[in-house]
Amino acid sequence: MYNIVKDEIQQYCDNHSGEEPEVLKQLTRYTFANVLQPRMLSGHFQGRVLSFISKLVQPQFILEIGTYTGYSALCLAEGLKPDGKLITIDINPEQEEHIYQVVKQAGFENKIQFIVGDAANIIPTLPHAFDLIFIDADKPNYDKYYELAIKHSSAGAIIILDNVLWSGKVIDELSLQKDKDTILLDKLNKKIKSDPRVEPLLLPIRDGLMVTKKK
């Protein structure tokens, strides 16, 4: 994974965007010290983008597919209505105890629910129609998660998919012929572009954010 824009430009954007809360700075340090592939973390700038979108939407219910160490969940929760709720699902239980700790530290223990398990099986059992959905999980199931997001979201909901530029591989001819994840993501990007159910906007932020509004 890499930043699409030049590092110097990215740093300038970081410096002129909202400050990263201290709890997120600590979570970043924890992730880089204790977790494999720490660059999977959303990070300062993308985190502020997610927070900003959430604050614009002011959702009652948020769904996150793919928790990792909880960074993006904390960012998204910043925009919840006072009585709102965020459900975040991850198949890996390894960070469960730490996620509970960091959620409490951020003051979101009554707003964020962490569920360990297969999102494809869990989402149909949830009672909510979600106003904001963030998908950042295993790429082979992205299309399945997208369809579940469409089905279980409210009218006008915002659905965001991360990593859709796949380190720039989506414009690399060799990757488009031989790399399964690249092929799947390119196919999904094209599907979303022509999907009459949504209005799409692909943003070259970090590894690519596909932002869609459900009609």
pLDDT digits (tens, 9 = 90+) for 164-184: 999 999 999 999 999 999 999
pLDDT value of position 1: 53
Mean pLDDT score, 139-160: 98
Report which residue type is found at 167.
Answer: S
For residues 94 and 4, the model is more confident at 94
Mean per-residue pLDDT over the chain, rounded: 95
On the question of pLDDT at 106 being above 70, the answer is: yes
pLDDT value of position 47: 96
Mean pLDDT score, 72-80: 98
On the question of pLDDT at 100 being above 60, the answer is: yes
pLDDT value of position 2: 57
Mean pLDDT score, 36-55: 91
Greatest alpha-carbon span in the chain? 49
Angle of CA points 79, 18, 8, to nearest 5°: 135
pTM across the whole model? 0.95
Which three-class secondary structure state does DSSP give residue 82?
Answer: coil
For residues 181 and 37, the model is more confident at 181
Characterize 99-126 residue by residue with b for buried, 16 or more Cβ atoms within 10 angstroms of its Cβ, and e for exposed.
Answer: beebbeebebeebbebbeeebbebbeeb
What structural domains and CATH numbers belong to the chain?
7-214 (3.40.50.150)
- Confidence grade of residue 39 (pLDDT, cut at 50, 70, 90): confident
